């Protein structure tokens, strides 16, 4: 099919409300504060992989949110990024639940948040950005497995668990502060947790610009799975500038970045 026919088909589909046209990246609005955030599940066993360590800082995001960070990861991150990221915070575990934040801005730690005993914790922090305070819920939502060793059948499912986790975490946030929810959601853009946030005025950065771009790749004997499960979600205090995936590193996840500008202080979302 020619490019003209493809474009015509897309235009027709969009007019029918079937396929939303991706946004075009744009330059920041003059005088409006902006910054870039990144989320990256580094895979806890890849701490000694040079390409994965390099991927953490290759895009020079202003704030980096990392999942699956254990003590070994904390040591190499401290050594590698002490200059690039003056603020480095760690909430490590030796299972898959460890988190880290590397930032060019001051970070206030408001506590690691727990939901049940079989779920990864989240982390509530407030960043002092050029546009003012921004609160962030850094997540690694529960993965659902049936335990038979096959990546296809062991693959996580979207479920009410994710929504329940987020509902619990969001109760800790401060009404009125611009809010981001960032991390490994373990579910697609149509998952329960993502949809719950969207019903409260949040938008999901990557699908706005690159719908269908995968952020995780898994393999089984039968097939390779590509899915979009890592998200940067922002409330009504922000406007997006761009979002993209970096093809870097040796983790099963890829770094996801979003450039956003802070257009107003109090967030107009439903709590």
pLDDT tens sequence across 64-117: 999 999 999 999 999 999 999 999 999 999 889 999 999 999 999 999 999 977
**Interior CA angle at 267 toward 19 and 30, to 5°?**
75
Question: Within 10 Å of residue 178's Cβ, how many Cβ atoms?
Answer: 26
Q: Domain 31-262: which topology?
A: Deoxyribonuclease I; Chain A (3.60.10)
pLDDT value at position 220? 56
Cα–Cα separations (whole angstroms), residue 224 to 2, 111, 190, 216, 246:
29, 37, 20, 10, 19
The DSSP letter of residue 253 is: B
Domain range summary for the chain, segments of one domain joined by + = 31-262
- What's the rounded Cα separation, in Å, for the pair 216 and 226? 6
Q: 């744009």: which residue's tokens?
A: 26
Least confident of 47-61, 129-143, 193-207, 219-233: 219-233
| Residue 225 pLDDT grade (very low, low, confident, very high; cuts 50, 70, 90) | confident
Query: What is the pLDDT at residue 119?
Result: 87
């Amino acid at each position: 099919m020619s490019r003209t026919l493809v474009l015509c088909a897309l235009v027709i589909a969009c007019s029918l409300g079937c396929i939303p046209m991706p946004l075009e990246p744009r330059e920041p609005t003059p005088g409006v504060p902006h910054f870039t955030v990144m989320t990256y599940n580094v895979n806890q066993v890849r701490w000694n992989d040079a390409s994965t360590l390099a991927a953490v800082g290759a895009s020079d995001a202003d704030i980096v949110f990392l999942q699956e960070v254990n003590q070994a990861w904390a040591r190499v991150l401290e050594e590698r990024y002490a200059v690039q990221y003056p603020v480095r915070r760690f909430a490590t575990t030796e299972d898959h639940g460890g988190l880290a934040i590397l930032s060019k801005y001051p970070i206030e730690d408001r506590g690691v948040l727990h939901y049940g005993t079989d779920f990864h914790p989240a982390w509530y922090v407030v960043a002092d950005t050029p546009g003012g305070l921004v609160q962030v819920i850094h997540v690694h939502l529960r993965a659902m497995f049936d335990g038979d060793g096959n990546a296809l059948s062991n693959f996580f499912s979207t479920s009410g668990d994710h929504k329940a986790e987020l509902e619990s975490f969001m109760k800790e946030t401060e009404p009125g502060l611009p809010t981001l929810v960032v991390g490994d959601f373990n579910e697609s853009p149509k998952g329960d947790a993502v949809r719950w946030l969207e019903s409260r005025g949040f938008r999901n950065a990557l699908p706005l610009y690159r719908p269908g771009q995968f952020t995780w790749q898994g393999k089984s004997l039968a097939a390779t799975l590509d899915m979009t499960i890592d998200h940067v979600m922002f409330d009504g205090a922000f406007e997006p500038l761009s979002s993209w995936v970096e093809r870097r590193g040796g983790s099963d996840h890829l770094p996801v970045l979003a450039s956003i500008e802070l257009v107003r202080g109090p967030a107009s979302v439903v709590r």
